Homo-oligomer: A and B are copies of this chain.
Amino acid sequence: MPTVTTVDISQQLQQSCATIETWFRQQWQQCHPPIYGSMDLRNAGFKIAPVDTNLFPAGFNNLNPQNMALYVQAMQATIAEIAPDLTRLLLIPESHTRNRFYFESVAVLQDILLQAGFEVRIGSLNPEIAQPQEYTLPSNRRLLIEPLIRRGDSVTVGDFSTCCILLNNDLSDGVPDILKNIKQTILPPVQLGWTTRLKSGHFSHYQAVCQQFARLINIDPWLIMPLFDQCPDVDFHDPEGQECLINRAKILLARIQEKYAEYQVNQAPFLVVKADQGTYGMAVMMIDDPEELRHLNHRRRQKMSVIKGGRQVTKAIIQEGVYTFETAGPDQAVAEPVIYTIGRHVVGGFYRLHKERGPRENLNAPGMDFAPLPLPHHCHIAQCGADSSRFYAYGVIARLALLAAARELTPISPEQSHD
């Protein structure tokens, strides 16, 4: 197993810092970045790539609280840009009622908004929350969650009136009726929820972004993106229904093998099959050989068939597996960086760790842990030095994924994308 070097790609990014930052500024003039996001990256040494882009991020409680001023400032700058008149915000979280970790994240997010000078109340879509409930969290933070109510063409809680909703619910269960045809601005827009969004759509945009970006700084786009393909019609319960997946997986694997040969990578290439609408690390499977798909046991079939909210999986994405050769934490567990953005700003991140998983496995699974990213200053900053160049690279890759997400919402014409 190689040690993490990534010197080439990271240093190339750092050396092109002024070009890259100018380019991002131009891109954000063409489409606004989503209000927030978190990107799971994998650093394989020879390449760094995002494997998941979350536009309804949780985990704010895992960010370094010492950098609170940075989160607050980014939120102020971002809201000033997109909604300068805003005073009050209604935050709609996931409908969990017992997930204390998630509640801690919501509490930190609310705190960022309060410190940025907004009034914030929290309205739940969960019908079990019929009256305001105050939770005292393990951190001693208090969280007041109120039932969301519809009033005319607005939603609200109690007597709170606001023109803007901050959505922290990924809408895996579809857009609820209460949010349909409301006149309020919803950030990010419901179209970016998992009701309509597909991972393959995101990665198509990501691929186009990377091709454009790679031309800009003269690198091979493969060094910053996972190859992928998709099957629009799968049924993991039907043993005969895997031909599309198997055939496409074989072609994809051959393409990866070619790239591995080109770059003299000694590891075995592998694939990741995921539900195209999946989230929360559910319905994810690593395979070495496409033929495995023919002989999935009952447990794996079951696991691949259901995503969050109990929905059936009917579309799948097959992604190039990206090794992660970083380790972190007291036990030097396998780690992948998770980078957070607020508007155009990279504000921080952490390592997701898993002691019981290997460098090619999904770390977003029970037993995972978190460790601070040892950022010298911060990861959007181009510092001198090889170690810091890695963190600058993470900030760049995360923003390329953010740009892809922005283009899901505001597709740009091919002429624009080739500037």
B-contacting residues of A (Cβ < 8 Å)? 17-18, 20-22, 24-26, 28-29, 67-70, 72-74, 76-77, 80-81, 84-87, 114-119, 344-345, 347, 375, 377-378, 380-383
Contact = CB atoms under 8 A, between A and B. Distances in A.
Nearest to A20: B117
A84 B25 contact: yes
29 contacts: A17-B117, A18-B87, A18-B114, A18-B117, A18-B118, A18-B119, A20-B117, A21-B76, A21-B118, A22-B117, A25-B80, A25-B84, A25-B86, A26-B84, A68-B378, A69-B70, A69-B378, A69-B381, A70-B73, A72-B377, A73-B345, A73-B347, A73-B380, A76-B344, A77-B344, A81-B81, A114-B382, A115-B382, A117-B382
B69 A115 contact: no
Contact of A72 (B24, B84, B86, B380): B380
B74 A381 contact: no
Copy tally for this chain in the complex stands at 2
A377 B68 CA distance: 7
Contacts of A29: 84-85
A21 B117 contact: yes
Contact of A115 (B118, B345, B347, B381): B381
A80 B28 contact: yes
Contacts of A80: 25, 28, 81, 344
Given A25-B117, A80-B344, 9 more contacts: A18-B114, A29-B84, A68-B378, A73-B77, A73-B380, A76-B380, A115-B382, A115-B383, A117-B382
A20 B115 CA distance: 12
B18 A85 contact: no
* A-B pairs with lowest CB-CB distance, top 7: A21-B117, A69-B378, A77-B77, A22-B87, A68-B377, A115-B381, A69-B377
